[in-house]
Structure 1
Amino acid sequence: MLDALTLDQMRMFLAVADAGSFRLASHAIANLETELKTVLFDRSTRRPTLTSDGRALLDDCRSLVLRADLLRAKAQGMGSGIEIELALMVDTLVPLPAVGRALEALHATYPTVGVRLQIGTLGEPIDCLLQGAVDLAITVGEDLRDPRLEFDSLAPLSMAAVVGAGHALALIAKKGRVSTPELADHIQIVLMDPSPRSHGRDYGVLSQRKWRVGSQEAKLALIRAGIGWGRLPLWLIAQDLVEERLVQLSAAALGENGTTKSWIYLARRLDKPLLPAARCLRSALLAGAGLGDTAGLPA
């Protein structure tokens, strides 16, 4: 029965169902009903309305036509050099909602391109890019640069040294500046690098007592719990500071008022020209997707 069913017939069915009018399609719909051996429309009213069988088949028909359109668009994209999938790795310091807005712009332009989004820490985005595991990487800072890559600056990123409101360092901080020996006496929560790029090196570590975590979310949870202190992106902790769940640490070793500033960069390989979808995402990011210090801050 279904072997003779065509996409044109299904499109006609959808058109009549959406318009509520047969117009010139009455004969085509009648043929379709003959093929399916069921009545799709009630013709006893002024405007054709779907029967119960018609309603039951409508969603399946829409799904089949949509899949066929996507298949056709993907095949055309393959022939024109558009990627089937775009792989992106984002540093855990970068606000994902802002990245999501750039990906939304990508999807609007290239709806058939799939996206593989991964989150990495420290040297992981750079290493994955160099290994060819991803097409683009969003990374933070200048410490882990590689001459085989090209970098576009996207936005500033402020990191604030903080501690939970009930921690001993919070009481010291509320009275004034915190000394380096006082910081060194307490556990510092730091990110661990799953790549070998920073092997044997620590960045911004002042305490010999370290707990290592694999994400900013884990780091924030431990600091909130009062286990130790650490640096976190200002966009991530802005509400915690306003609601006094966290206290900012002001110390000579931690930058002005306990804040240091880095830059967010988009990295790509010099030996691998960007294809259309990657160029589109790069343009969206460079146009200002709200990355960095203003992302996530309370109004």
Structure 2
Amino acid sequence: MLDGLTLDQIRTFVAVADCGSFRSGASRLLRVQSAVSHAIANLEGELGVQLFDRSGYRPVLTPEGQALLANARDLLLRADAMRARAQALGGGLELELSLVVDTLFPIDTVAQAITCAHAQYPSTMFRLESLPLGGTWAALIEKRCTLAVIVGEDFRDPRIALEAIGSVKQIAVVSARHPLANAELSASLGIPELADHVQIVLTDPSPLSRGRTFGVLSPHTCRVNTQEAKYELICAGMGWGRLPAWQIQDDLDAGRLIRLDIASLGRYGEIGVEVYLAHRLDERLGPVAQALRKAILDHSSHKAMG
């Protein structure tokens, strides 16, 4: 019988599993260690299995505990989502709303959407941050924002709801002064030749990509932490890299930047990446967040992002 099973017991189980000890789990939950131990013991009694092996210095998940941990996380996610929906149904305006946007997405589109939402809710304070790669995901996972505009599918999380809103075209380019800008030369180039030149690469401000690389083809790199720095270094002739079409179209038209028409970098040196509007399933979207969501959807549908 599982009638005595409580969300508090399940939340305690997940906290101890995540933190690696009863003491650390108690600290996260702001409870005394004895209360946490008691809750785990009661949960094990209700389930009829031992969740942790306590014979060592630290508790270790048993095979049964490891198998049930995924179910516990799913139950908490569903319960928190239900609570968030109930809060949304209860109404109430947000005093502050935070939005994090991937650096590959045109910021003017977001600015227009925020302006539109602010006109409807002038008492709400808006916060906007632009981050590359896993930064948008980390902000949502760590609950540092309500909405995020995410580019690409390199990271996934069951707590995050995604809504496709468009795509961004990225083009491999170099300065017209760079050796790779030679049209006759570029037609015969491949990855080995690109590796002889510096590639300008964005760094990830989050730990999500630790041990992974995304599109890094050259052993010679110059790493930057902003999209603007990447753009300026490529324009200066430091190296080559991918930049969003919306950011460099004028430079391409004027001949300041040259497209690397290399088949191994995509047709005509370009690739398309999907863009998503994202939020946490367990956090409510209040009236202001809903208004901003609609404004982003509306402005994205009318914006040519390349």
Q: Same fold (TM over 0.5)?
A: yes
Which residue does 1:246 correspond to in 2?
A: 257
Task: Specify which of 189, 192, 203 is matched with residue 200 of structure 2.
Answer: 189
Provide runs of 4+ in structure 1 moved above 2 Å: 172-178, 287-292
Task: Specify the code of the residue in structure 2 equivalent to 1:233.
Answer: P
Contact 1:101 1:289 in 2 (8 A): no
Paired AA for residue 187 in structure 2: G
Distance in 2 of aligned mates of 1:173 and 1:273: 56
Gaps in structure 1 of 5+ consecutive residues: 1-78
1:215 maps to: 226
* 2:156 partner SS: coil
1:40-73: per-residue Cα shift (whole Å, max 9, x none)? xxxxxxxxxxxxxxxxxxxxxxxxxxxxxxxxxx
Matching residue's letter, 1:86: L
Q: How does 1:1-299 map to 2 (within 5 A)?
A: 81-172=92-183, 176-289=187-300, 294-295=304-305
**Structure 1 residue 93, shift from structure 2 partner:** 0.7
What residue identity is the alignment partner of 1:163?
V
Output the TM-score relative to the length of structure 2.
0.68
User: Which deviations, in whole Å up to 9, do the C-alpha atoms of 1:113-160 show, x marking residues without a partner?
Assistant: 110111111101111111111111111001112111000111110000
CA distance in 1, matches of 2:233, 2:104: 16
Q: Distance in 1 between matches of 2:222 and 2:212?
A: 15
* Residues 91 and 286, structure 2, Cα contact 8 Å, conserved in 1: no
Alignment check: 8 A CA contact 1:173 1:247 kept: no
Distance 1:148 1:221 in 2: 36
| One-letter amino acid of the structure 2 residue matched with residue 217 of structure 1 | E
What secondary structure sits across from 2:130 in the alignment?
A: strand
Q: Whose radius of gyration is greater, 1 or 2? A: 1
- Alpha carbons of structure 1 residues 221 and 290: separation in structure 2 relative to 1, 3 Å: farther
- Contact preservation (8 Å) 1:166, 1:226: yes
User: How far, CA to CA, are the matches of 2:184 and 2:226 in structure 1?
Assistant: 26
Shift of 1:252: 2.1
CA distance in 2, matches of 1:267, 1:174: 42
Partners of 2:186 and 2:262 within 8 A in 1: no
| TM-score, length basis structure 1 | 0.69
d(CA) in 2 for partners of 1:154, 1:177: 36
2:63 alignment counterpart = none
Partner of 2:70: none
Displacement of 1:287: 2.2
Separation in 2, partners of 1:168, 1:159: 21
Q: Are the aligned partners of 1:155 and 1:291 in contact in 2 as well (CA < 8 Å)?
A: no
Give the conservation status (yes or no) of the 8 Å contact 1:190–1:210: yes
State the shift of 1:176 in Å: 2.3
Secondary structure of 2:234's aligned partner = helix
Q: 1:101: Cα distance to partner? A: 1.0
Percent identity, aligned pairs only? Answer: 46
Corresponding pairs, count: 217
Structure 2: 5+ residue stretches without partners: 1-89
Which SS does the other structure have where 2:148 is aligned? strand
What SS class does the counterpart of residue 182 from structure 2 fall into? helix
SS at 2:197's partner residue? coil
